[in-house]
Amino acid sequence: MSITVHQFPCLSDNYGFLVRDDATGLAACIDTPEASVILRELEKTGWKLALILNTHWHQDHAGGNAEIKAATGCTVVGPAEVERLSPVDRKVGGGDVVELGEARFQVIESGGHTLGHIAYFDAADHVAFVGDTLFALGCGRLFEGTATQMWDSLQRLAALPDDTKVYCAHEYTASNARFALSVDADPALKARAEQIFAARERGEWTVPTTIGLEKATNPFLRAPTLRPELAPAEAFGAVRTAKDNFKG
Ligand code: ZN
Ligand code: FE
């Protein structure tokens, strides 16, 4: 079993992802930030869209569902909360499995940014699509959930294999790095931040990242080390609040 991921920019700082199951040629679209761009990329690749896999209900993740479904006849899969925006054909939650041809995606509950946010993990290929839960050197804002809910969600992602490729939904890495450097003096972070600034200067993407790299350098995952006087979820909450107030 294997999959191929096709990544491309959408809107101002989102990424679109098309995923093909190599065995059958069936494809899925992870979220629908910009229908016109996604439909164009589908045409370019020649892939046949079977599924939309939504991570959460926000406009820049599910806003293109209706147009893409109308154009392709695909099935919309996602958390129930997406129905705040548009209909979902198959509602899924943590522990469910979604099949795309021969590929299988485990649904991981990852609420906190929104209450019903989910991530998709392909255990055969060590690939995860994490929406707005985990970013390269960052994590999603707590629009709906609590620090404890988000910390638990991040721990479920951190438990994936270190070499798991993590496809985040936004290119926020340079600004995340500036914040990270303000709260963490670790040399591994410093080295990574320099690489990130240089890569962004060259116009390169910093997504995907990996679980191993994030565990080593992401200040949100490292919160208990940065704030050892606090319980882990509280330490995470303190780092999250500091980022919300950071004027970088
Ligand atoms: Zn969002
Ligand atoms: Fe988003």
Confidence at residue 121, expressed as pLDDT on a 0 to 100 scale: 99
Q: Within 125-205, where are the H helices?
A: 147-158, 173-183, 187-201
What is the average pLDDT score of the chain?
A: 98
Q: What is the pLDDT of residues 184-214, one digit of tens each?
A: 999 999 999 999 999 999 999 999 999 999 9
| pLDDT for residue 225 is more than 90 | yes
The rounded Å distance from CA 106 to ligand 2 centre is: 21
The reported pTM is 0.98
Token pair for 69: 């479904």
The Å distance, Cα 58 to ligand 1 centre, comes to 5
pLDDT tens digits, one per residue of 39-90: 999 999 999 999 999 999 999 999 999 999 999 999 999 999 999 999 999 9
Q: Per residue in 4-51, pLDDT tens?
A: 999 999 999 999 999 999 999 999 999 999 999 999 999 999 999 999
State the pLDDT confidence band at 248, using cuts at 50, 70 and 90: confident
What's 223's DSSP letter?
H
> Quick count: other Cβ atoms within 10 Å of Cβ 21?
22
CATH 3.40.50.2000 fits 3-173, yes or no: no
Distances, alpha carbon 34 to alpha carbons 14, 18, 212, 230, in Å: 9, 13, 30, 41
Q: Which residues have CB atoms below 5 A from the ion given as ligand 2?
A: 60, 132
Closest ligand to Cα 12: 2
Q: Are 192 and 174 in contact (CB under 8 A)?
A: no
User: What's the CA-to-centroid distance between 228 and ligand 2, angstroms?
Assistant: 30
Residue 31: partners with Cβ closer than 8 Å, 6 or more residues away: 14, 16, 17, 52, 53, 54, 55, 60, 61, 62, 131, 169
Alpha carbon of 2 to ligand 2 centroid (Å): 27
Torsion 156-111-63-91 (CA) sign: positive
Give the tens place of pLDDT for each residue, 124-155. Answer: 999 999 999 999 999 999 999 999 999 999 99
Q: How many CA atoms lie within 13 A of 230 on its CB side?
A: 16
Answer whether 165's CB lies under 8 Å from 127's CB.
Answer: yes
Q: Any idea where the domains of the chain sit in the sequence?
A: 3-173
Check whether 1 has a pLDDT greater than 70: no
| Residue positions annotated with a catalytic role | 56, 58, 60-61, 113, 132, 170
Distance 60 CA to ligand 2 centre (A): 5
